[in-house]
Amino acid sequence: MIELRNVTKYFKTDESKKYLLKDVSLTLPDINIGLIGRNGTGKSTLMRMLGKIEFPNEGTIYSNNSFSWPMGLAGGVVPTMSGKANVKFVCNLYNKDPQETEEIIEYVRDFAELGEYFDLPVSTYSSGMRGRLGFGMSLPFDFDYLIIDETLATGDPVFQQKASDALKEKIGRCHIILVSHNPKTLLSMCDAGMVLNNGELNYYENIEDGIKYYREINEKEGKK
C-alpha cells in the first residue's frame, strides 16, 4: 500500500511555480499500476519521489514496502564504470555475499547479451545497450515494487519480447509501477491506472478507463 498525503510538488521558474502535483491525497492498493500522462507532466518526478530520491515540497508519501530504484532510459547505471562494476556496486549496496554476487553477475551477463562490452565502461554503450543493462540489473533483486520508466521500449524486438517475458515472471513475486505511452504494454502488464495531468493525479481501478481518459486529454489538447 502506498499512501500519498496532501502531496504538493512544484518547480520554481523565474516568475511562477509550475505545479506537478497539487495537494494530492491518494491511497494505492498493492496491485500493478500503470502511470500515464503527457510529456512534462511530472511522471518521472513522481517515480523519483516514490523511489525516495526526490522529495515533495509539502505532504508525505508513506509506504511500508520496498521500492526499486527508478529504472529509466538513463538512470541506474554509472557511465564511468564498466557494466560488471555497476552490477557489483549494486550487489554491495544490497549486502550480497560473494557467491550471490557471482551468480547475479552471470545472470545479468546472460540476460543483457552485451558480450565483451560487459567489461567496458558504460559510456561506450549505445542507448539500447544501456537500457538492456539497466533492466537486467534490476531483475535479480527482490523488491515489493519495481519502478519502471519506459525501459521496456528499449532494444530490438527480440529483446523486448525477452524483457516483457522476464517482467511477467517477476510480477508473480512483486508489483510494478510502470510509465508507458504504449496502451498494449499497459494493458498486458497493469491492472490499475493513474493519469497525471495539470497537477491532478486520478486513479482508475481499471487501466482501460485510464487509457480512455488519457485519450480524451490528448484529443482536447490536439484540438487547441
Partner 1 sequence: MTLRKPFQIFLAVEKALFLREINKSISVGKAGLFWTFFQPFMQVALFVILRGFILGGGSENYDVATFMASGFIAFNMFRDTLSGSTNAFIANKQLFIYKQVKPIDTILARLLKTMFITSIIVLMFLFIGFFFQYGNIAPQNILMVFLGYLWLIVFSISVSLVAAIGSAFYISIGRVIGIMSFALLLGSAVFFPIISVPAEYQEYFLYNPLVHFMEMIHAAYIPELDDRFVDYQFMMYWTVVPMFIGAWLYQKLEKRIISL
The residues binding partner 1 (CB under 8 A) are: 48, 51-55, 66-67, 69-70, 75-81, 85, 88-90, 92-95, 142-144
β 17-28/2-12 pair status: antiparallel
CB of 138 to partner 1, least distance (A): 11
Distance between CA atoms of residues 86 and 73, nearest Å: 16
Which CB, 67 or 107, lies closer to partner 1?
Answer: 67
CB of 172 to partner 1, least distance (A): 15
CB of 218 to partner 1, least distance (A): 29
CB of 42 to partner 1, least distance (A): 13
CB of 8 to partner 1, least distance (A): 15
Which CB, 77 or 211, lies closer to partner 1?
Answer: 77
Q: Which helix (H) or strand (E) holds 19?
A: strand 17-28
Scanning the structure block, which residue is given the C-alpha cell 543483457?
Answer: 112
Which CB, 26 or 81, lies closer to partner 1?
Answer: 81
Residue 34 has phi, psi (to 5 degrees) of -100, 135
CA nearest 101: which of 109, 110, 92? 92
**Letter string b/e over residues 27-54, b meaning 16 or more CB atoms within 10 A of that residue's CB:** ebeeebbbbbbeeebbbbbbbbbbbeee
Which CB, 36 or 47, lies closer to partner 1?
Answer: 47
Which CB, 81 or 166, lies closer to partner 1?
Answer: 81
